Structure 1
Amino acid sequence: MVRGESQELSHVVGASEPPLIEKTIGAMLAEAAARDPDGEALVVRHQGVRLTWAELKRRSDAVACGLLAAGIRPGDRVGIWAPNCAEWTILQFATATAGMILVTINPAYRTSEVEYALKKVGCRALVTAVRHKTSDYVAMLREVMPELAAATPGTLRARALPDLRLVATIGEEAHAGCLRFGDLEGAVDAAQLAAIPIDAHDAVNIQFTSGTTGFPKGATLTHRNILNNGYFVGAGIGLSKADKVCIPVPLYHCFGMVMGNLACLTHGATMVYPAEAFDPLAVLETVAAERCTALYGVPTMFIAVLGRPEFDSFDVSSLRTGIMAGSPCPIATMREVIDRLGMHQVTIAYGMTETSPVSFQSAMDDPIEERVSTVGRVQPHLAVKIVGPDGETLPRGEPGELCTRGYSVMQGYWDDAARTAEALDEDDWMHTGDIATIDAKGYCRITGRIKDLVIRGGENIYPREVEEFLLTHPHIADAQVIGVPDERYGEELCAWVMTRGGAALSEEEVRDHCRGRIAHYKVPRYVRIVETFPMTVTGKVQKFVMRETMIAELRG
């Protein structure tokens, strides 16, 4: 190799200091409680909950012991299907302490989606909200499992979900066949918990990511994966025990539970939840009342907060930093975040669930241009490279597929060796499917997507999943789904539909078929009933032609 050649290639390795954390999440919680027992760990505004680190550890330990008493064992999968709340976080730490694997389920999931998720990973227990927005979770579970109503809590036997034994509901209401979450908080047996053999390399979390085949994949993450990622993300914005982090992003995403909760845990900062789900007014009220120093969100969230008519009536001067991720940030929005919210040290982060999630992050003092045109530089203890179609590492500045390797890469997709092998090569490189460049200074720019991914308001949607669902309609013969630009969400879904035998079908009927049966963000905003799709001479659908047609039509 010619001297200096390696510096010209798009292969970058992050710093090797500080060293990686080789502890479990439960051990880190114990350390936090011992170091700062009276420090504020968790504030949940909409529930009126305030917990110190000592109280959070005690309640988490109590739930861990309660799960063990109910017959749930280390290694068992425990689902959580709920919006942001104190019980979510208590369960996150309880399952980690007991050596169990938390399965995070999107609150927007409907019956078919939650059934698939619980069955795929063989959940032994499920903690669920009773309802959220228009979703009646208990009714949906009874639809999937009619046996639930007559079951004795802890001894459930359901044909559709043969592994599930226990359902616990959040709140004071009693529901047939279910235990109340509060009843799980039993006496703490410290000796029992201490005797559980847990290694930092053990799986602790399964997160579902949409799949191109229409079925979500369960990315399996370890204590070492997510604890370290939380630490380095928090270090990137200078977190300490003096900080309060406002977390309006959902906990079921890595953004909430890793970049939020675990960043706070590893730096002693306070986790603050403004509402069950994102509410821009609640964010402003919470930042002002709690004197939050950091705020998280995707660009659309910041746009909504800045757009509130009451904005100027709130004192947000406590803010100094935060993280923006999920989709590219318009420069005008970044300037407002810095100037009006006072977040001069705001950073941009990029990653994917399979890498725990963050692999690139901008620095607090990066120029604003770098914070909107790039996703920053590689995180410590990670390596990244840009490869061409044949797998060769490309020169700096040349676009290709972004690959990541290091501590953050998942164990694999749960019970799916084939798709794991597609994503992770024999040298342990995670192939992201994103097209990117790395410049001479190491800054990364995401320039496109190899997979036909649509990012709507920070939610990743694979069109194939929506297409397969549309095909369940008896009058739909074929469907193609694309993303089209949208000022509010970045992208919106558009479905082109061909009917079966020329059957009469309206655009609204297509949307009605989706509503209540798939997550709301997967329901196409735009629907077009067509006779044919644009095709190549070899019979492949030309989605780019569809996209260009729709953009021209929408611009009018």
Structure 2
Amino acid sequence: MTGEPHAPDEDASRAPGAASYAHGTSATALLGDTIGADLDRTAARWPDREALVDAPTGRRWTYRRFVEDVDRLALALLASDVRKGDRVGIWAVNCAEWVLVQYATARVGAVMVNINPAYRTHEVGFVLEQAGVSLLFASLSHRTSDYRAMVDEVRPACPRLRETVYIGDPGWEAFLRRGTSRARDELLARGSELSCDDPVNIQYTSGTTGFPKGATLSHHNILNNGYFVGESLAYSEQDRICVPVPFYHCFGMVMGNLAATSHGACIVVPAPSFDPRATLEAVQRERCTSLYGVPTMFIAELNLPDFADHDLSSLRTGIMAGSPCPVEVMKRVVSEMNMAEVSICYGMTETSPVSTQTRREDDLEHRTATVGRVLPHIEVKVVDPVDGVTRPRGVPGELCTRGYSVMLGYWDEPGKTAEVIDAGRWMHTGDLAVMREDGYVEIVGRIKDMIIRGGENVYPREIEEFLYGHPGIRDVQVVGVPHEKYGEEVLACVIPGDAAHPPTLEELRAYCEGRLAHYKIPSRLRIMDAFPMTVSGKVRKVELREQHAR
């Protein structure tokens, strides 16, 4: 399989002032399979090609062995009474076992629940209970995180969690041995009960109302998105994709893993979490052809003192996403990392994730000033945020997307689903965008107050709800302000309960430590007497941002 050349959308030649609407046409049909069926087809075609390399441990899987180990884990899930639709959590750093869990849960029709390994007790307890997770796979530890201790702490509040299996613990092998009592015919029978429209994955996005929402994605959603992202990059069985971005996010598990397995390519895991040197060493050693990352990752790699000592001549392409790419960084990625065909992607978890993408032949300006054009089989439009009418091209408005990629909904929250998916099945992204005359899209702002810190989406409301519990805080507003390295950082504007003894930044950070993910913890604090308000009594967050950006 190779990527077909995609012509600009059919509306690109229309007269100035045409509607900001584009539809990605394609001669390549959507895949109608489950993830398990697609993996079987790939393995049958390229059984001896490498499917997965875990660089830190040196372990390798051909597609034949990969399917065998996926099925071994899937049979263990059946033996553990995991039924179609049951939620199985994965709270782990990047490793080969993460990938095996992804495909084994899909094989048996379970719904894998991704849990950010940076989460702490406050967050993981909510996710386990909200999703109704019955079986959890977890890392033992990573850096300062003791996952077993945190699970033990939240377990009493999660009565539906009946078992936790720790990766790297003897319990992992013991769990796998359960499957030896089951016949593979049972796995085939389970597969025959599955539809590509079944839910297969829940990914939690930070909520504007205080808690994360579980975007529920189907086989059809994420398999096709991974496939068409790979098509745009011209992936084939010859490609080897270095994936330093986290698997818990769509960037890793869809744009990385599913793009690879749907094309017979190899997934290379460079490290449990991002390490710039380990990433470049994996590219060199494994002769990777593609490399992923958010701009800050590429900056960290380029700034290594021994960057020039690494042989990156095997690279040709990759994906940069998460935040805008500075022009100078893109120039260096193309020239010094040999990634002449590097691509920019835009999307959101709720859209599986990619809606627009630059193409291999696009020039530097399009790769740095736009987020590309619509992918095949997807529609995008830019509308007036108030009345929903489609804007003319060149006029800013809210970006909306529709098609196979739009999520099934937020898990167990139909009301919140209806707030973002309208009656026409358009997903309202909350991002302000401009569609150019050639169909390329520029993101110019955010309707919501989302902060993007180093590629991580942070919603202020969630942090505000948590900080309201601090005894020294009467009121709090959280905004993003510019940061040279991370793009944005988290600023907490606080009205103290006792003006004579306001909380310090150190106290605030200590209060959050171990209970909020590190990237959500405020790095700046401003003590205030009052917040700027609108005439209707709403806090003017835009004014807070402008005041403190300086």
Gaps of 5+ in 1: 146-158
Question: Counterpart of 1:436 in structure 2: which amino acid?
Answer: A
The 8 Å contact of residues 79 and 179 in structure 2, kept in 1 or not, is answered as no
Equivalent in 207, 216, 221 of residue 217 of structure 2: 221
Question: Counterpart of 1:412 in structure 2: which amino acid?
Answer: G
Cα distance, 1:49 vs structure 2:
1.3
Corresponding residue number in structure 1 for 2:242: 246
Corresponding residue number in structure 1 for 2:110: 100
How far apart, CA to CA, are the structure 2 residues paired with 1:485 and 1:180?
A: 49
Task: Report SS of the residue matched to 1:95.
Answer: helix
The 8 Å contact of residues 62 and 184 in structure 1, kept in 2 or not, is answered as no
1:194 aligns with 2:204: no
1:162 aligns with 2:184: no
How far apart, CA to CA, are the structure 2 residues paired with 1:40 and 1:338?
A: 27
Alpha carbons of structure 1 residues 185 and 52: separation in structure 2 relative to 1, 3 Å: farther
How far apart, CA to CA, are the structure 2 residues paired with 1:112 and 1:227?
A: 32
The 8 Å contact of residues 227 and 259 in structure 2, kept in 1 or not, is answered as yes
Cα distance, 1:486 vs structure 2:
1.0
Cα distance, 1:182 vs structure 2:
4.5
Note the 1:7-406 alignment, pairs <5 A: 8-145=18-155, 159-173=156-170, 182-183=176-177, 186=180, 189-196=183-190, 197-388=193-384, 389-406=386-403
The 8 Å contact of residues 532 and 540 in structure 2, kept in 1 or not, is answered as yes
How far apart, CA to CA, are the structure 1 residues paired with 2:252 and 2:238?
A: 20
Cα distance, 1:31 vs structure 2:
1.1
Higher RCO structure, 1 or 2 (CA under 8 Å, sep 6+): 2
Task: Report SS of the residue matched to 1:263.
Answer: helix
Deviations 1:124-174 (CA, angstroms, capped at 9, x unpaired): 1100111111110000111112xxxxxxxxxxxxx4212222211111355
Q: For the aligned residues, what is the CA RMSD? A: 1.6
Equivalent in 393, 405, 409 of residue 406 of structure 2: 409
How far apart, CA to CA, are the structure 2 residues paired with 1:81 and 1:207?
A: 12
Deviates more, 1:504-513 or 1:110-119: 504-513
Cα distance, 1:184 vs structure 2:
5.4
How far apart, CA to CA, are the structure 1 residues paired with 2:112 and 2:455?
A: 22
How far apart, CA to CA, are the structure 1 residues paired with 2:376 and 2:183?
A: 38
Cα distance, 1:508 vs structure 2:
1.1
Deviations 1:394-424 (CA, angstroms, capped at 9, x unpaired): 1111100111000000000000000000010
1:534 aligns with 2:532: yes
1:427 aligns with 2:424: yes
Question: Counterpart of 1:531 in structure 2: which amino acid?
Answer: D
Cα distance, 1:188 vs structure 2:
6.2
Task: Report SS of the residue matched to 2:498.
Answer: helix
Question: Counterpart of 1:263 in structure 2: which amino acid?
Answer: A
Give the percent of matched residue pairs that are identical in Structure 1 and Structure 2: 55
Task: Report SS of the residue matched to 1:516.
Answer: coil
The 8 Å contact of residues 62 and 187 in structure 1, kept in 2 or not, is answered as no
How far apart, CA to CA, are the structure 2 residues paired with 1:179 and 1:321?
A: 37
Task: Report SS of the residue matched to 2:342.
Answer: strand
Deviations 1:189-244 (CA, angstroms, capped at 9, x unpaired): 32111111010111100000011001100000000000000000001111111110
How far apart, CA to CA, are the structure 2 residues paired with 1:447 and 1:499?
A: 34
Task: Report SS of the residue matched to 1:480.
Answer: strand
Corresponding residue number in structure 2 for 1:482: 479
Cα distance, 1:501 vs structure 2:
3.2
The 8 Å contact of residues 14 and 378 in structure 1, kept in 2 or not, is answered as yes
The 8 Å contact of residues 36 and 53 in structure 1, kept in 2 or not, is answered as yes
Gaps of 5+ in 2: 1-13
Question: Counterpart of 1:320 in structure 2: which amino acid?
Answer: R
The 8 Å contact of residues 502 and 527 in structure 2, kept in 1 or not, is answered as no
1:491 aligns with 2:488: yes
Deviates more, 1:336-345 or 1:535-544: 535-544
Deviations 1:43-98 (CA, angstroms, capped at 9, x unpaired): 01112210011111111111111011011111100000000001100010000011
The 8 Å contact of residues 21 and 390 in structure 2, kept in 1 or not, is answered as yes
Task: Report SS of the residue matched to 1:527.
Answer: strand
Corresponding residue number in structure 2 for 1:546: 544
Cα distance, 1:121 vs structure 2:
1.0
Question: Counterpart of 2:528 in structure 1: which amino acid?
Answer: V
The 8 Å contact of residues 171 and 180 in structure 1, kept in 2 or not, is answered as no
Alpha carbons of structure 1 residues 60 and 484: separation in structure 2 relative to 1, 3 Å: same
Structure 1 segments of 4 or more deviating over 4 A? 4-7, 178-185
Task: Report SS of the residue matched to 1:501.
Answer: coil
How far apart, CA to CA, are the structure 2 residues paired with 1:136 and 1:496?
A: 31
How far apart, CA to CA, are the structure 1 residues paired with 2:86 and 2:173?
A: 18
1:436 aligns with 2:433: yes
Q: When the two structures are superposed, what TM-score results if normalisation uses the length of structure 2?
A: 0.95
Question: Counterpart of 2:186 in structure 1: which amino acid?
Answer: Q
Task: Report SS of the residue matched to 2:542.
Answer: helix
